[in-house]
Amino acid sequence: MVITYTSYRIIKKFALTLLVLVVPLPLMSSPQLPQENGLSTENIGSLPYIKLRPETLLAYSSLHPNNYIRSFNMGIQPPHFLQNRHAFALNTQTNNASVSIKEITLKKQRQLYTATIRAIYSGNKKDPDIAREKLRNYPLLPYIKYHELRSSINKVTPTEIDEYILTNPDVPVAIFLKTRKLFSLAKAKKWEEFLAYYSPSTDIKLSCYFQQALLNTQDKVSTSDDIKNLWLVGKSQPKNCDPVFNAWIESDHFDSSYAWNRYILALKNGHPSLAKYLIKYLPENHKKIAKLGINLYRHPEKIESLGVSMNEKQKDIFHIALSRLIYKNPGKAGDLISTLTQKYKLNASEVSPHQEQLAIILAVRFLPEAEKWLEIANKDKLDPVLNELNIRTSLRNLEWKKANKKINALPLEALNSDRWQYWQARTLQLAEIEAPADSENTLQKLAKKPNFYGHMARNGEQAEFSLVKKPVKNSPSQKKTTSKQINVRRAYEFHVLGQHTNARREWRYAMQSLNPEQRLVAAELAQDWGGPSLSIRAANLATPHNNFDLRFPMGYSHEVSTYANRTLTNQELIFALIRQESLFTPDARSHAGALGIMQIMPETAKRVAKKNNISYLGSRDLLNPEKNIHIGTTFLKQLVTRFDGNEVLAMAAYNAGPHRVKKWIPKETALPLDVWIETIPFKETRNYVKHLLINKEIYREKLGLNSPNTSFDMMINPS
């Protein structure tokens, strides 16, 4: 429902009368609703909001305003796919009449708040003043002033912004105002005011504006290392850095060695166009070498065209060319390394990085001689990554005894991990060697663990996650206390309004002031709201971590059930995938551009929708969970069908793409499923599949299914 301004004026009169009779009460918890999902603990990074004293906040400007979502869901009701999930009850112990009055009050406050924010951005200055009095007890009241300042950022003074930050230290977006003001001052070229308000920032654009301000006010280039640090990166910097760089290059502070160093960084980072551009800043006697470097970068097979002796700059080019050759043609690089080492008299420190790179490339591409180069690059057996690749190479080659021997040679700390304990016992099974008694005991012990290697040790037998010790349900009084925390109250309001980004900001901020036990209370509270992503985030930060009800919810169960039945796809697989992809976050966006609860790329959505006659109006549709689940489930079913019903291959394809997965299927000899998973060359995809399998097992129990679980005796046959 969207209220026009005229309608709003009529409703306002009624609301005023009602609000005289009703005093807004603190927000309490709603009746329990279906859970919604999230990621495992290891995927939760450090919290982005740092608790600072108010005076420190004024000096902290590293939060870029682009991190703030500009579009607001101004609708009065939650999105249609959430409307039926919110009962808006405040306390199940309160009588029905009382609940109704409180909820009517809150509903009117939400209407007034959203209409007020719209009025602010339409230029209406009267409504915010009227609303402030009526919303004096509403949790989102400070956001009215925030939006007033934000909407007129060009006119407000730094003093007004500082005052807002100091008086609202618990509003996560408050600090964005300072950053926005600095950008406003810079774009208006008000350099004196910019310098007076600026404080050190990690934002590159702001740092360059700071240097611009110094240049324009002092009429000279800064002598600090700040400009050099901005310059010496292997990628292009923002356009607003150019005036500073140009003045610095023309000053006495610039040295041509800086141009060469950045040229090398650009080639190392895969930016030959930037490297070519930088040649003009080199002395004439270095330009020829630099042009040769560009040519060798593009045609590394010509590396032998370098002379017999090399100066330092030629050596720089040589190492880049050899690294490129290893990437493009590892076979030829392997043949040349020893010859080039002798020709150019390379010492061990110069050649070992290339040996290591070659070993890794050969191993992850399943190419011959991988084992030979892994032994050369890791002769002391001290590198854990190379040790792992060496074992995986033997597993991929079906050399069980050799793999077992390599596992036994691992450092004790690594050997005691669940992964290598599993493979130590499993390789003995595969080699059909009479295993020591403790080998079977190892698998039996692992089978009791609720992790991936426990899942593999069970080999198709269902674990009973319901038997894992769960925390005792928290009392209503504990929930009531937590629900009164201001950031928790604001998170709930934004959740109801469908403003998920703001809800997550407030929720993260709230978690900082709660201890691990209180976070578990908050997780239950969010579950009661029907806020699965918030519930999971809190539960993953809580103690203990075994509460699978909170960490593995079944959010959007109606939509999942509907499209699982329609596409004949297993529900537990869909739930597992949603949890891993987005923590049940409807507006999730990845750096690569994937959108929504099942993290679908817009081009994929367009293709799947067209093929299956699904209505699709563009990428914004993917932020609607129902539409996202419809398209995502259809795509998942296509992948399962493409790989002959093998859900594990489909999982890998959902993450890495079907074309890559097809290359990873053995071409000559079948592989046991657990070996195939352990030897997936992409670490991200390998871990993704492991997480999905354990998630799927948990959801299988939660759904009460008796269908066969994944058996790791299954063989992945040659393509």
Extract the tokens encoding 406. Answer: 């390599």
- DSSP letters for 638-650: HHHHHTTT-HHHH
Task: Give the pLDDT score at 464.
Answer: 74
Q: Average pLDDT per run of 10 along the chain, which is 719 residues long? A: 41 36 29 29 30 38 32 33 32 47 90 95 85 93 97 96 97 97 98 96 96 92 88 97 95 94 97 97 95 96 85 94 97 94 92 97 96 94 94 96 95 94 94 73 90 89 67 77 94 96 96 91 93 94 80 94 96 97 96 96 97 96 97 98 96 97 94 96 97 94 82 86
Write down the domain spans for the chain: 5-199, 379-436, 557-716
Helix (H) or strand (E) holding 715: strand 715-716
Residues 631 and 208: their CA atoms lie apart, in Å, by 43
Provide the 3-class DSSP secondary structure of residue 154: coil
Burial classification of residue 321, based on how many CB atoms lie within 10 Å of its CB (0-12 exposed, 13-18 middle, 19 or more buried): buried
Residues 207 and 213: their CA atoms lie apart, in Å, by 10
Query: How far is the CA of 699 from the CAs of 44, 566, 632, in angstroms?
Result: 21, 19, 18
375 is catalytic: no
Helix ranges (H only) for 329-450 are 330-343, 348-364, 370-377, 384-396, 400-408, 412-415, 418-430, 437-446
Q: Of 417, 422, 415, which is closest to residue 458 (Cα–Cα)?
A: 422
In 66-96, which positions are buried (b, 16+ CB within 10 angstroms) versus exposed (e)? eebeeebbeebbbbebbeebbbebbbeeeee
Please, how many CA atoms are within 13 Å of residue 510, restricted to the half-sphere of its CB?
Answer: 30
Beta bridge partners of 716: 671
Task: Give the pLDDT score at 129.
Answer: 85
Class of domain 557-716: mainly alpha
Extract the tokens encoding 132. Answer: 């402030």
Is 425 in contact with 400 (CB distance < 8 Å)? no
Query: How far is the CA of 217 from the CAs of 107, 159, 195, 197, 253, in angstroms?
Result: 53, 22, 9, 14, 18
Query: How far is the CA of 543 from the CAs of 51, 277, 318, 702, in angstroms?
Result: 21, 54, 53, 22
5-21 and 126-134 helices, crossing angle to 10°: 30
Select which of 36, 506, 524, 581 is catalytic: 581
Task: Give the pLDDT score at 99.
Answer: 58
Task: Give the pLDDT score at 29.
Answer: 28
In whole angstroms, how large is the CA radius of gyration of the chain? 30
- Other CB atoms within a 10 A radius of the CB of residue 590 amount to 12
Residues 672 and 686: their CA atoms lie apart, in Å, by 15
Burial classification of residue 257, based on how many CB atoms lie within 10 Å of its CB (0-12 exposed, 13-18 middle, 19 or more buried): exposed
Extract the tokens encoding 626. Answer: 């129902």
Residues 269 and 276: their CA atoms lie apart, in Å, by 13
- DSSP letters for 426-480: HHHHHTT----HHHHHHHHHHTTSSSHHHHHHHTTPPP-GGGS--PPPPPHHHHH
Go through the chain and tell me how many residues it has: 719
Task: Give the pLDDT score at 470.
Answer: 62
